[in-house]
Amino acid sequence: MSQQGPERQPATALVSDYLRGVQRSVIARVRNTNRTEGDQRQDPAEQGADPNDAKSRALQQTVEDTAARPAPPSDQSEQQQQPSWVRRITGLSAHLASGIGWRQAGLPQGLHISPEVQAALKAGQPVVALESTIISHGLPYPQNMEMAKEVESIIRQQGATPATIAVMQGIPCIGLNQNQLFELASRSAQVRKTSRRDLPVVMAGGHTGATTVSATMVLAALAGIHVFATGGIGGVHRGGENSMDISADLTELGRTPVAVVCAGVKSILDIPRTLEYLETQGVCVASYCTNEFPAFWSVRSGCKSPARVDSPQEAAQLIQTSKQLGLENGLLIGVPVPGEQAAAGAKVEDAMQAALKEASRKNVAGPDVTPFVLRRVRELTGGASLAANLALIKNNAKVGAQIATALAKLQ
């Protein structure tokens, strides 16, 4: 009988062992450096502590600790001040170590799911996904950071767990800590806007990317999250019948089983054609407590909604029924912006038309159009649209959390 050879370790375990070896070498180097410099310093015993051990433990903690840290008090986070090689080893070590745990737990390999989100999913508690493009490209700093923290707080107040999603240094993360939120909010110029098509490029290149609606849906579905709250979705662009410029958000809704709670379609788009396209994709569209499909800043779009729900329980029942039928597409729940906060429809519409013409003159195209137009609309309306934008985002988070809570009770 032939003798069996030693069992081969998986590649991730081998690389993880290698990184731990690098980590030990670095710690040893720090200890040796400290010993060399120790001759010129005061005896550590006189200070009541051994600085060599303290520094070694600090470096060990830097490399191994993947827990969230407090938000940075100044314009630079503590993480940004670390040497790049430390940040890279930290990210790789955490990613590989967590990957082994995910396979054992039956979770998708390659996702970094925060302990808070993972515990909620395991316990069957409500979780609400949040996109990150709205942080990096939707609002200016520091309002975007304040909004991100407040939205997560609103979701927690409703008894659900927030899961902001982004790709951090090539690793898709479900649930972000304060340092990661700060990086997205304060360094938007270095953060890539990441749709479904961009996920392989951003991940393979080790880049940081803020996920759009489509990419957020993909990662949320992989993590087992069924409800996703955002501001508004993309759609068929004006003139799309000629340019074929149609947002990936719509096709994602047609193939990914996640319910998107939003303020409808952004009013810079062709709303009637967007609803027609969603019908073609087989997407269930319902408006919340209204018969008219909302138009982002405005409660009115002039388009009748295909369906209506009047409570979180009714919306949750739609999601549950879709799951029971085995439908592999998403749902769209349109929640109108609170009336007292809505910007005057005519004023915003005029500003939007002016911004679109300006974008055309300056040859702004593709994914750059929406952030350009939104910024110009804010400027032209004196901030009225920004106030409405913040109000609808917070309201959508609240309603989304209520729907997720109702859905959890149906499981």
pLDDT tens for the chain, residues 1 to 411: 444 444 444 444 444 555 555 555 545 554 554 554 444 444 434 444 444 454 445 444 544 444 444 444 444 444 455 665 555 555 554 544 444 333 334 455 679 999 999 999 999 999 999 999 999 998 889 999 999 999 999 999 999 999 999 999 999 999 999 999 999 999 999 999 999 999 999 999 999 999 999 999 999 999 999 999 999 999 998 777 777 889 999 999 999 999 999 999 977 889 999 999 999 999 999 999 999 999 887 788 889 999 999 999 999 999 999 999 999 999 999 999 887 776 655 677 788 889 989 998 999 877 678 788 878 887 888 877 777 778 889 999 999 999 999 999 998
Task: Specify the 3-state DSSP secondary structure of 166.
Answer: strand
Catalytic residue positions? 131, 266
**Shared-domain flag, residues 249 and 386:** yes
**Shared-domain flag, residues 300 and 231:** yes
CATH number at residue 115: 3.40.1790.10
Q: Which amino acid is at 260?
A: V
The residue from 225, 243, 273 where one domain ends is 225
Query: 264-303: b or e for each residue (b if 16 or more CB lie within 10 Å)?
Result: bbbbbbbbebbbebbeeeebbbbbbebebbbbbbbbebeb
> CA 290 to CA 276: how far, in whole Å?
19
Q: Is residue 337 part of a domain?
A: yes
- Give me the domain span that covers residue 255: 226-411
DSSP 8-state symbol, 324 = H
**Shared-domain flag, residues 236 and 384:** yes
**Shared-domain flag, residues 165 and 291:** no
Residue (of 173, 219, 229) closest to 196 by Cα position:
219
Q: Which amino acid is at 396?
A: N
